[in-house]
Chains A and B, each alone.
Chain A
Amino acid sequence: LAKTTQPISMDSYEGQEVNITCSHNNIATNDYITWYQQFPSQGPRFIIQGYKTKVTNEVASLFIPADRKSSTLSLPRVSLSDTAVYYCLVGGSSASKIIFGSGTRLSIRP
């Protein structure tokens, strides 16, 4: 599993777009980038996954530049309910240890 670096915390306001960047300089060719969201007192849940360029679903977008050494999770028009910890994972099908790291604690204010 590639080592990842993401901000410890971020603050934003309702209605804003929030972008959380994850650095993964030693990403391997077969690695995918996956983001999870964890609400207080709950286990993490899958948000989005991508390999290159841009992926969008009903919850978020994931932007991956050509060199794939970083990725950005974009949450459009956040609400108070988006307050959570967001984890970036980078790895492929051969990674047997799934290491989550510390994540980014996102706080949304009214």
Chain B
Amino acid sequence: NAGVTQTPKFQVLKTGQSMTLQCAQDMNHEYMSWYRQDPGMGLRLIHYSVGAGITDQGEVPNGYNVSRSTTEDFPLRLLSAAPSQTSVYFCASSREYGARDTQYFGPGTRLTVL
């Protein structure tokens, strides 16, 4: 199993541009989520999904959209990039939702918005 994969690894955007961060998992996990991590800070939950077709907002959803058309994929869209969205983005998945299940994280995407 590849586990949780994320593309791209690095990305530089200009203010106002849009882009999609890709996340995929091959473990048939129902629960997927996106976090952002600013330098020296903890993880903040952006959006999550408890299954295909079901998504919900986390702590910091503004400026981001998600969709979950398949179990495997959970893309994160930046609608109009802003410098405040410069961060490292991590995707995670678990077999089921709930804090009891182990969260598996991808390697992250480092995004810089100029």
Residues of A within 8 A of B (CB): 1, 31-32, 34, 36, 41-46, 49, 85, 87, 89-103
Given A43-B105, A46-B103, A99-B59; A93-B42 close (CB under 8 Å): no
Q: Which residue from chain A places its CB closest to the CB of B4 in the assembled complex?
A: A43
Instruction: Judge whether B42 and A103 touch: CB under 8 Å.
Output: yes
Q: Which residues on B sit within 8 Å (CB–CB) of A102? A: 41-42
Smallest CB separation, A57 vs chain B (Å) = 13
Partner of B58, one of A32, A34, A43, A97: A97
CA distance A86 to B55 in the complex (A): 28
Instruction: Judge whether A43 and B99 touch: CB under 8 Å.
Output: no
Q: Which residues on A sit within 8 Å (CB–CB) of B4? A: 43
Within 8 A of A (CB), among B79-114: 88, 90, 92, 96-103, 105-108
Q: Which residues on B sit within 8 Å (CB–CB) of A46? A: 102-103
Instruction: Judge whether A36 and B103 touch: CB under 8 Å.
Output: yes
How many residue pairs bridge A and B at CB < 8 Å? 78
Q: What are the 3 closest A-B residue pairs judged by CB atoms, nearest first? A: A43-B105, A91-B99, A102-B42
CA distance A94 to B96 in the complex (A): 10
- Which of A85, A87, A94, A99 has most chain B Cβ within 10 Å? A99
Whether B45 sits at the interface, judged by CB under 8 Å, is yes
Q: Which residue from chain A places its CB closest to the CB of B49 in the assembled complex?
A: A96
- Which of B50, B97, B103 has most chain A Cβ within 10 Å? B103
Partner of A87, one of B33, B42, B107: B42
